[in-house]
Amino acid sequence: MEGKKAKSAIEEITVNEGTFSNEVFTPSYINFFYGKNGSGKTSIGRQIESGSGIKWAEGESASNYQIHVYNQDYIDLRFKTLDKVNGIFTLTEGDPEDDPIKKIEALEEERKTINKRQEEINKDGGEREKVSKMRQAAESTFQGACLRNTKVMRDKYKPAFNKASRNPQLSQKIESSIPKDCNEEELERLFSAAFAEGARSYPFFMMIDGEEHIAKVPTCDLLSEPITSSGNSIFAKFVKELQSLSWIEAGHKQFHDKADGMCPYCRQPLPADYETQLASCYDEQYQNALDTIKTFRQNYRAHMGVIFTILKNAVEQETPPSLAHSVKGLQPQIDNFTRAVQSNLELVDEKIANPSKVVQLEDLTPILLDLAFVLTKFNNEVQKNNDMFAKLGETQEQCIKDVWGLIAYHMQGEVETYHLALEEAVNTTKNLNDEEDKNKKRLEEIKEEIALLSKSSITIQNAIGSINTLLRDSGFEGFEIIPSDVAKDAYKVVRGDKKVAVRLSEGEKHFLSFLYFYYQVKGCDENGVMKEKIVVIDDPVSSLDGNALFITSSLVREMIEVCYNNAEYEGETEKGDYIRQLFILTHNAQFHRGITYKQVNRYRTVNFYKINKLNNHSFIKPCVRQDKSKAGEEEVNYNPVKNAYAALWAEYQELENPIPLMNVIHRIMDYYFLDICGEDGMDIRERVLGPGKNDFDGETRLLADSMLQYMGAGINGDASYDNDEAEAKQIKETFEKIFESLGQSQHYNMMMERSRL
């Protein structure tokens, strides 16, 4: 099967003429109707001619076509008198030296070439569809790249992708965004702040002031000087000599309440005036120095305590989410500061305990400067957050714009590639449109040129000569047609003496009228315009003898091929394609078989119908059936009119029982090979199964032998079939193989109604 039925200009007809009542059928390009006389065939032709009940294809109408109907009405209307037959064409005398026919033929070829080119552009799989697919492929590739390359950004900046997280919105947004190379770290910080849940303003951090907290850190020069007593007593000089005042003083402070008059170090009795002697070791300057150091320690500790409080508050106060990590990272610096302060205090304590010891405190200025710098940065961030919060809507809008700008920046290569593909598609489409416009303009010009040439393309003598030739070839030698002297574009039918013929037979009149109709279909309208035709032919062979029937059938077959050229340019296209749709109705089985013998397999463009009449009501039955040779539910045409031999093949296709199937096979072989081809049965068997012939083996050889050895036995002969195990499929395959072995595959395929085109 060739697919679905193709539709032409008329898509549907509802027949309500005569004995039809709302009978609907859907014609294709070529439509064959078979029915007995009186079944209603003429009603269908009249319905089409009247234009009622017709559903035209989109963009089509009756004004686009010439509708020609050949029936008894046509014959009666045009042959009331034989001295004036209405003109076949709008005819004028042409210039014999300037052949317009060749010009028309050349224009027709050009028109076909242009139409073929138009079809190449617009058909399924044509150039326009290829451009569309190219564009779709570029779009699909670009959209895929957009999804892949923005996954991280879509997860990180979700609010920016509202209603644009998927294609096509995603790719369209990227394509329309202006590329911008943003600082991604800064963008992420601003975006997080702008779209943080519960965004608000925050208090500033307390600062470590350069003047107040760093420049004014307490200092003490005495720490770097040894402090000793200048007492003059013998004991004082002794202690000073030993430089042991510190540990004596320490022991005294610790143990004098518990010493019980004993030295805490050597356990010897202390002199009764020990306290007086110890006091003689201290002078006023020594004591003042110690007091100064002790006061320094207190001031130093208090000063650093203020700074520690500032730092402690910094890590504890609420901060913008963007600063949370950085503030948490401040803690190690605070710990370092605390350890440094504690270390310096311990050195001061050592100095107080041993005034003669020289100590050097760590300078905390670098640490304090670093901390002050960090707190300044924090406050800058707080300021940005608060400024942003004050303009939250503007900030969010800018952040979103920057996100898309950054994506567009990173995807500039993909966008450029996509735009180049689109540009190519646009340019190709424009070129195709320009070409189509040019082709359409040229087609209009061709149409006008043909219209002008058609007025002189076929002279009266040309038309008359062609008809008279066909009349003679058909055996109608007793009359001819000549130009009428009554009207310029008319004919008259005359006998050999050039007198008007008055007693033509029905057969002669019918044949002449069909020739007249045939040339009328080939010509242009009364204005000299060549329009496409819709043709209805109703029983053209009534009262015709064999020769006339043969020629009429040939002319109808030509018209069929002309119509077929509109659907499939595979036939003899030089015949033209001026018939857009064709309806042929007949009751004559011989004529029907003669014009349809190779049409069954044109399923897509050809319809067969059987017209039946029951209880004075006519029905139109489409002649289609399931294709048993293929899987599925495909349909094929079938011809409702068969001769006896064709009927045998139809029965062969339907049979599945081996016994009657073999019977039909014997009858087919007898008729074709013996009666038609004049072959000898035994000779055929020798050619198929004789020595050296290896086309058959095993079961198939037995089946072939069973078919061939009884050829000529007839239905009542001695032919028998005893292989019960063979199936119908195997039998048919063997039967086909016999035709192949004898070089008769073409005949087998024809009778099986397989496609030969």
> Of 637, 662, 682, which residue is a domain's last?
637
Residue 314 located in a structural domain = no
Q: What is the CA radius of gyration of the chain?
A: 57
**Shared-domain flag, residues 107 and 72:** no
**Shared-domain flag, residues 482 and 605:** yes
**Shared-domain flag, residues 255 and 235:** yes
Q: What's the average model confidence in pLDDT over 247-275? A: 65
Q: What's the average model confidence in pLDDT over 72-90? A: 60
Residue 224 located in a structural domain = no
**Shared-domain flag, residues 543 and 612:** yes
Q: What's the average model confidence in pLDDT over 564-586? A: 79
**Shared-domain flag, residues 597 and 478:** yes
Average pLDDT, the chain: 81
What are the tokens at 482? 């000549």
**Shared-domain flag, residues 134 and 75:** no
- pLDDT value at position 707? 86
- Asked if residue 329 has pLDDT above 80, the reply is yes
**Shared-domain flag, residues 632 and 485:** yes
- pLDDT value at position 373? 93
Closest by CA to 518, choosing from 455, 457, 471, 456, is 471
Question: Which residues contact residue 70 at a Cβ distance below 8 angstroms, ignoring those fewer than 6 apart?
Answer: 513, 514, 517, 535, 536, 537, 538, 540
Dump pLDDT digits (tens) for 509-529: 788 888 888 888 887 655 556
Lowest mean pLDDT among 26-40, 383-397, 455-469, 646-660: 455-469
Question: Whole-angstrom Cα distance, residue 664 to residue 258?
Answer: 145
Q: Which residue type does 670 have?
A: D
- pLDDT value at position 252? 57
Residue 215 located in a structural domain = no
Dump pLDDT digits (tens) for 272-328: 656 655 555 556 778 888 899 999 999 999 999 999 999 989 888 888 877 888 888
Residue 399 located in a structural domain = yes
- pLDDT value at position 279? 57
Closest by CA to 575, choosing from 590, 556, 593, is 556
Q: Which uninterrupted H or E stretch holds 130?
A: helix 127-149
> Of 452, 469, 499, which residue is a domain's last?
452
Q: What's the average model confidence in pLDDT over 242-262? A: 61
- pLDDT value at position 385? 80
Dump pLDDT digits (tens) for 155-188: 888 888 887 888 888 888 888 889 988 888 888 8
**Shared-domain flag, residues 489 and 576:** yes
Question: Whole-angstrom Cα distance, residue 352 to residue 99?
Answer: 137
262: containing domain: 231-282
CA dihedral 647→653→658→663, nearest 10 degrees, is 20
- Asked if residue 402 has pLDDT above 50, the reply is yes
- pLDDT value at position 241? 55
**Shared-domain flag, residues 121 and 246:** no
What are the backbone dihedrals phi and psi of residue 492, each rounded to the nearest 5 degrees, phi first? -140, 150
Question: Please, are residues 26 and 11 in contact by the beta-carbon 8 Å criterion?
Answer: yes
**Shared-domain flag, residues 502 and 618:** yes
Domain of 587: which CATH number? 3.40.50
- Asked if residue 697 has pLDDT above 70, the reply is yes
What are the tokens at 750? 């024809």
Strand partners, 15: 23
Residue 296 located in a structural domain = no
- Asked if residue 560 has pLDDT above 90, the reply is yes
Residue 730 located in a structural domain = yes
**Shared-domain flag, residues 664 and 725:** yes
- Asked if residue 672 has pLDDT above 70, the reply is yes
Give me the number of domains the chain comprises: 4
- pLDDT value at position 48? 93
> Of 577, 606, 637, which residue is a domain's last?
637
Q: Pairing relation of β-strands 579-586 and 30-35?
A: parallel
Give pTM, 2 decimals. 0.47
Residue 318 located in a structural domain = no
DSSP state for residue 671 in the 8-state scheme: I
- Asked if residue 12 has pLDDT above 60, the reply is yes
pLDDT band at 118 (very low <50, low <70, confident <90, very high): confident
Strand partners, 635: 626
Q: Which residue type does 59 have?
A: G
Residue 396 located in a structural domain = yes
Closest by CA to 606, choosing from 12, 29, 3, 24, is 29
Helices and strands, counts by H and E, the chain: 26, 13
**Shared-domain flag, residues 666 and 522:** no
Q: Which residue has the tokens 């096509």?
A: 168
Q: Which residue type does 452 have?
A: L
Question: Please, are residues 328 and 350 in contact by the beta-carbon 8 Å criterion?
Answer: no
